Structure 1
Amino acid sequence: MGEQKKDYMMKRAMNKSTFISASNYKNRWFVLDDRDLKYFEGTLDKQGKQKGGVELRKIKAVETVEDNVLDNKINVFQVVHASQKNNEILTLYIVAQDDIQRQDWVTKLRKAAENADATFIPKYHKGVWISGNYTCCNQISKNAIGCEVTSTEREFGGTPSGLPPPPSIPAPSPEPTPKKIFVAVYNFTPTEEEDLELLQGEEYEILDDSREHWWRAKNKNGRTGYIPSNYVKKKFDLEMFDWYYKNSTRERSEAILKEEQREGCFLVRESSAPGMFTMSLYTQENDGQVRHYHIKKNDKGYYYIAEKYAFPSISELVHYHKHNSAGLATRLKCPPTRSGTSAPATAGFSSSKFEIDPSEISIGEQLGAGCFGTVHEGKWRGKRVAVKMMKESTMSDDGFIEEAKTMTQLNHNNLVQLYGIVTKKRPLIIVTELMQYGSLLSYLRRHKARLLSKTATLLDMCSQVCNGMTYLEKRRFIHRDLAARNCLVGQSTVVKVADFGLARYVIDDEYTSSTGTKFPVKWAPPEVLSYTRFSSKSDVWAYGILMWEIFTGGVMPYDKMKNVEVVDYVCHSRQRLEKPSACPEKIYKVMLQCWQHESDKRPSFVDLLQLLGGLLEQGNYPFIST
C-alpha cells in the first residue's frame, strides 16, 4: 500500500457490559498500514499512545452495519477478525463521521486485507448482537453463521486474490434452495380470502417472507395465502416449543406460572446474559413458589442443570427432566396454557385490510374518555376490540389517515395494536386491541397499596414500556405523549404503550402548544417547553416521568405546581422530581439519566432496556434500601 491511511473516528469498547452508554465509545486515531489496523488514543489535534489493533491477515470481513441498530448510531462499519490469542472470532465496531468516510475505509480495509492474504468468510451479520440474538436474523448463537453474503463473496466469488474463477473451470450447479418450513404456534382464522388458516402444530412452507408481518405460505394440502409472521416459528428453533418464552423477564415468568398454580408447570426463557437460558419452574412447596435454574453448558457444548445429566440440545434436556427431576424441585409436567386470548395481536386484521366497514362494528359500554374522544368496548366479526370514537374536528383527517396505514404495520408485544380505521362516515373511528384492565394510571392508583411493596413488579412494568418504546425508536417513530395515562394493562399484568403518534394530528391549540392548558407540560423536557422540539430523546424524558408515576402508585408529577411553575422549575432552576419513597436508589438514578437537561446526554431506549434487564435479572434486589 506504500503510505499509511489515518483518520479520527469512534470505536465501541469490546466488553461484556450489560449497559452500553456513551462511556463505552471512545474517539480514537485509526492508522492503516500494510500489516495492521491500529488505533491510538488522543485528541483531534494530537495522536496518543497505541491502545490496540488488528492484524490484516486475520480479518474475515469488512462490512457496513445497518443504521440505528448499534446503540442508535449511524455510519457504522464492522471489522470481523480472529483474535491474536485463540483465533476466537471477534467484531470491532467503528463509527465514522459520515457515510463517505465509512465507505472509503471499508473499501481500503478490504483491499489491504486482501493484499495481506486474509481469508474472507462467505457470510456476515449486517445487524449486531444485542440481548442474546442478532438484530438482523434473530439467531440466538453468537457464533451462528452470517445471514448476508459478504461483499467480497458477491464481487469476487470469495477467492482470496480478489479475482473471479478462471472461465475454463465450469461453475458448479447451484444447489436447490432449501424449503423454509415453519410450525404454527397459534391458530389463525382468516378474515379475507387472500389469507390462509393456521392450525397450531401444523407445518407450513414459507413462499415469500419479504414483508415484515405477513408472509405468503403453503399448507400441507397445497393451498396458499398470507399468514401473520408472528404466529409461526421455524421448525427445530426453540421458539416452536410451547414452553419457550424467549423475552420473558424473571418477574413476568413468575406472574405467568403463579397464575397457573400447577405443580411442575415450567417455561424456558433467555437470561439477561447473551446466549444463556433459564428454566423457571412452579412448585407447590411453601404455599407455591417459582424456582429459577440457570441452564449451563459443559466443555462439549452440552446443556445441563444437574452436571451429570447433559444433552446436546435444550429440547432434549427438557424431555429428560419431564421424566426425572434430577436436581429440580419437581419433574417438569406442563408448560403454561397458551389459550386463544394469549395469541399475539396481528398487524391489522389481515394482510390487506385497513379500512373497516362500520356496519361490522358493534359498540358497547364506554370504557373512558379523553382529549381525543371516547373509548368503548366493541366487537368486529365476533372479535373483542376497543373502539375509539374521535371528537368531531379534533383530528387532521387527511394526515392521520395516511399515517394510520403505517401505524397498522407497527406490531410489538408491548404496543397496543391498531387494527384499522373507519373514515367513510363520521365520527372518525379507530379500532384497536382491547386491554381489559384499562389505563396504567388508573391501575396503579387502584392497586397502589399492594403494588408499592413489590419493587420487581413495578420494575417489570417499566421494562415492558421501555421494550415497546425501543421498538418505536428503532423505527424512528416519536410518541410525543408518553405517560401512564397513555399505557394500558392487560392479562397477567402485560403493559402496552397506546396512542403513539396521535398528538401530531390534534387540531387544538390548547393541546399542541406548550402554552396551552391541555399540553402535557409535566411530561415535557426543556427543549419541547422552550422550542417545541420533539425527538426520541424527548420521549426518553417523558419515560423517566412515567417511571416516577409507576413508583409513586400514580401520583401526579409536580402535584403542587402550576404549569408555569413547572417550566421555571425544570428549565431555569434545573431541578428534578424527588425520589419516590418506594423507589430504590439505583432505579431513581435511571430516572435522573432520562432527565438530563441536554437531550444528547440522555440514554437511548436501547440503553435503558439493557440496563433495566440487568436489574430485573438480579431478582432478589440486594441493592434495594427503601
Structure 2
Amino acid sequence: MGETKKDFMMKRSLNKGTFINASNYKSRWFVLDREFLRYFDGTFDKQGKQKGVIELRKIKAVENVEDHVLDRKTNVFQVVHAAQKSSDILTLYIVAQSDDQRQDWVTYLRKAAEYADAHFIPKYHKGVWMSGSYTCCNQISKNAIGCEVTSTEKEFGGVTVSSSLPPVPSIPAPAPEPTPRKVVVAVYDFTPTEEEDLQLIQGEEYEILDDSREHWWRAKDKNGKSGYIPSNYVKKKFDLEMFDWYYKSCTRERSEAILREEQREGCFLVRESSAPGMFTLSLFTTENDGQVRHYHIKKNEKGSYYIAEKYAFPSISELVHYHKHNSAGLATRLKSPPTRSGATAPATAGFSSSKFEIDPAEITIGDQLGAGCFGTVHEGKWRGKRVAVKMMKESAMSDDGFIEEAKTMTQLNHNNLVQLYGIVTKKKPLIIVTELMQYGSLLSYLRRHKARLLSKTATLLDMCSQVCNGMAYLEKRRFIHRDLAARNCLVGQSTVVKVADFGLARYVIDDEYTSSTGTKFPVKWAPPEVLSYTRFSSKSDVWAYGVLMWEIFTGGVMPYDKMKNVEVVDYVCHSKLRLEKPGACPEKIYKVMLQCWQHVLQL
C-alpha cells in the first residue's frame, strides 16, 4: 500500500519516568495511510524499522497541547487512542518542528480518523499527564473526563463525519474487522440532567458505543438515541449482576441488615460466599418474630446448581426461578428481592457526565443536620433529588485550592465513599453538594447504639470492612484522606458506612487540628511522622484507620480522652505508647490495630 503523508518529528516515550532527560524523546518518521499512523526510527536522511502503530479507527481525539507544559516544549500535539489489545486509553505526545507542521498534521489526522469511522470523545485535556495527575485540571484518574471541548465536538457536535482525504493509494484498503457489540441491561432508572446524557429505563437493553471513561459511558438506546449513562447503573447482558436479586460482594451481616429492613416474607437475595466461587441464598421469613436464613448454593458433578440436591439447574437464575414457585426445602418460597429503586440506587460520579458547577437557584435548603469547624450541613433538594448541602464558613477554608481539588473529587465514585456531586461557587458562601446519608455520622451512630453494638462483633467488624474498602479505593487512586475518623464517616440505610470529607482537612482551619508546633491536622489520629514533620501519605491514613477501628470497638470513645494534644504528641512520639485494647475487642482484631500503628514513615 502506498503512503499518503510522511514527516520527521519527535515523540515522548510512553514509559516516561519522574525525571526529565533527553532519552524521554525520540526522533521518528511518522507515516499516515488510510488505516494506520505508523512511526519508524532512523535519521532525517533515512527511515529505519517500525517502532509503533495506531489504528485510525481507534483514535479518540487529535488536539494541540498547551505550549511549555510538556517539559517546556512548544509545537506539541496529542493523539488520544484506544490500545491495540486492551480497553486502556493512551496518549501519544508528538513534538512538531514548527507550528505550521503541527497544524497541518492535526488537521490531516482528524480527517483521516473521521474517514476511518473513529468515534471521538467530547472533551480532552489541554495539558499533559505527569506525576499522577493532569497539569491542566489536576485530575488524578488517567481516564478522567477532559476539561476542554474537542475541536470535533465544536465542529460536528460529537457526530462522526465522513470526509474525503487528499489523493490516496489506488489499492483499496480492506474493510476493518467489525467490533463486537457490547450490550448491557439497565439495573436502575436514570433521569438525565443535561442534554448530552441518555435516559435509562430499568430492564431495557443499551448498546455501549464508548466505554473509555471510568464512570460515564456513551450508549445508544433501542430508538437510536445516544448519550452518556452512569456505568454503575448498567450490567452486562446475561451476567448475574443484571438481576435485581444479586448482591455480589454483600457480607452476611450486610444481607441480614438489608432483609430485616424490608421485613417481608420471602424477601431474598443471592450473594458471593466467603469461599471463592461459591454463592449463598439469604432469605427472610416472618416465623419466630422474623429471621434471616442462609442457604449455600452447591454444585453437583454435572456443574448444575442446587440447594436441595434433587432440584438442580444449569444456572443460578433458573434455580431462583424454580424456588419462586416451590419452597422445596426452604423456609418459604422466594417472593421478591429487596427494593432497589429511588434512594437505594448507587450514587453517580457527579449529577451528569459533565456537570460540576451547580446553579444555586436549583437548590432547596432544608433542616440543619449538623455543624462543624467548616460550617453547617443541611438536608436539601436539587431538582427533586435529596442531597446534603454543606454551607462553608467564609473564614473556615481556602476556597481557591479546594475548588480545583473538588473537580477531581467528583470523579471518585465507590459504594463506600460519600459522593461529591458538585459545588456552588458563583455566590457566597461556598456550597458543597453531596450524597445524603440518613443516619448521620458514624461517631454519633456508635454512641447512640453503643449498648446494642458492643455485643455484636460481626457488625462492628463489618463497619471496619466497609471503611477499609472505601480507603483502599482512595489509595489505589493515590488520594490521601488526611482526616480519617469516625466523625468523618456517615451511615445510611442497612448500616451502610461511607467515608466522607476526604481531602478537606487541608483547607480547614480549627483548633482541634492544631499540633504543639501550630500545624493544622487531627492530632489524635496522626502518626509520629505527621506529628513531628507534617508528612502525610497513604501510610498516615493507615494509622488513622487503626484509630478509627478503636473508635468503633469502644462505641465512639474519644481516643486519648484524658490527654491534651501536646500530651498525645509526647505519648505517641517519645514514649512510643499506643491506645489500649478496648474491652469489647477480640485479641485478633486488636492485633490489626497494632499493625496499623507499627509503621513509621522512612524520613
Q: TM-score, normalised by structure 2?
A: 0.69
1:331-385 CA distance string (max 9 Å, x none): 2221111131101111101111100111111222221111211111111112111
Q: Check conservation: 1:503, 1:512, Cα contact below 8 A.
A: no
Partner of residue 80, structure 1: none
**How many Å apart are 1:468 and its aligned residue?**
0.7
Q: Cα offset for 1:517?
A: 8.7
Structure 2: distance between partners of 1:220 and 1:289 = 43
Q: How far off is 1:510 after superposition?
A: 7.2
Shift of 1:512: 6.3
Q: What per-residue deviation string (whole Å, max 9, x for no partner) do you get for residues 88-142 of structure 1? A: xxxxxxxxxxxxxxxxxxxxxxxxxxxxxxxxxx98999xxxxxxxxxxxxxxxx
Runs of at least 5 residues in structure 2 that lack an aligned partner in the other structure: 1-16, 18-83, 89-172
Alignment partners' CA distance in 1, 2:516 and 2:543: 16
1:44-193 superposed matches below 5 A: 175-193=177-195
Greater relative contact order (CA < 8 Å, ≥ 6 in sequence) = 1
- Per the alignment, residue 453 of structure 2 pairs with 451
Distance verdict in 2 for CA 1:517–1:211, change over 3 Å: closer
Partner of 1:6: none
The residue number in structure 2 matching 1:522 is 524
Q: 5 Å matches for 1:319-398?
A: 319-398=321-400
- Whichever residue aligns with residue 285 of structure 1, its letter is E
Q: Where do 1:239-278 residues align within 5 Å?
A: 239-278=241-280
In the alignment, is residue 562 of structure 1 matched against residue 564 of structure 2? yes
Contact in 2 for aligned 1:366/1:374 (Cα 8 Å): yes
Q: Find the counterpart in structure 1 of residue 590 from structure 2.
A: 588
Counterpart CA distance in 1 for 2:600 and 2:212 is: 40
- Decide which of 209, 215, 218 is 2:217's aligned counterpart: 215
Deviation for aligned residue 1:514 = 5.9
Is this contact kept in 2: 1:514–1:528, CA < 8 A? Answer: no
- Counterpart CA distance in 2 for 1:284 and 1:365 is 36
Report the Cα distance in structure 2 between the residues aligned to 1:514 and 1:347, rounded to whole angstroms.
39
1:162 maps to none
Aligned to 2:204: 202
Q: What corresponds to 2:427 in structure 1?
A: 425
Q: Which amino acid aligns with 2:393?
A: K
Work out the CA distance in 2 between the residues paired with 1:512 and 1:302.
61
Q: Deviations over 1:136-180 (max 9, x none)?
A: xxxxxxxxxxxxxxxxxxxxxxxxxxxxxxxxxxx9976532211
Contact 2:512 2:522 in 1 (8 A): no
CA distance in structure 2 between the partners assigned to 1:566 and 1:465 by the alignment? 25
Match in the other structure for 1:434:
436
Deviations 1:276-296 (A, max 9, x none): 211111122322211112222
Q: CA deviation at 1:396?
A: 2.4
Q: Give the TM-score normalised by structure 1.
A: 0.67
CA distance in 2, matches of 1:491, 1:327: 31
Supply the distance in 2 between the matched residues of 1:283 and 1:548 (Cα, whole angstroms).
35
Structure 1 counterpart of 2:539, from 537, 540, 547: 537
Q: Is the 8 A contact 1:521 1:529 kept in 2?
A: yes
Match of 2:412 in 1: 410
CA contact (8 A) 1:574 1:597 kept: no
Secondary structure of 1:453's aligned partner = coil
**How far apart are residue 398 of structure 1 and its match?**
2.3
Q: Distance in 2 between matches of 1:505 and 1:322?
A: 54
Sequence identity (%)? 91
- C-alpha contact 1:506 1:512 (8 A) present in aligned 2: no
Question: For 1:596-615, what per-residue CA distance to the aligned partner results, in whole angstroms no more than 9, with x for missing partners?
Answer: 14358xxxxxxxxxxxxxxx
Say if 1:356 and 1:347 are closer, same or farther in 2 by CA, change over 3 A: same
Query: Which structure would you say has the larger Rg?
Result: 2
Q: Give the aligned length.
A: 439
Counterpart of 1:464, as a letter, is Q
Question: Which amino acid in the other structure matches residue 492 of structure 1?
Answer: S
Instruction: Return the match for 2:472 from 461, 470, 473.
Output: 470
Q: Which amino acid aligns with 1:240?
A: M
Change (3 A) 1:546 1:507: closer
| 1:458 Cα offset (Å) | 1.2
What does residue 293 of structure 2 align with?
A: 291
Aligned partners of 1:593 and 1:302: how far apart in 2? 43
- Counterpart CA distance in 2 for 1:177 and 1:313 is 29
Alpha-carbon separation, structure 2, partners of 1:525 and 1:361: 40
Q: Distance in 1 between matches of 2:328 and 2:184?
A: 33
Alignment of 1:300-319 (within 5 A): 300-319=302-321
Residue 364 of structure 1 aligns with an amino acid whose one-letter code is G
Structure 1's 353 and 181: CA in aligned 2 closer, same or farther, altered over 3 A?
same
Deviation at 1:518, TM superposition (A): 6.5
Question: Which residue of the partner structure matches residue 575 of structure 1?
Answer: 577
Decide whether aligned partners of structure 1 residues 330 and 402 sit closer, same or farther in structure 2, where only a CA change above 3 A counts: same
Q: Match of 1:281? A: 283
After superposing the two structures, state which structure 1 stretch, 290-299 or 186-195, moved more. Answer: 290-299
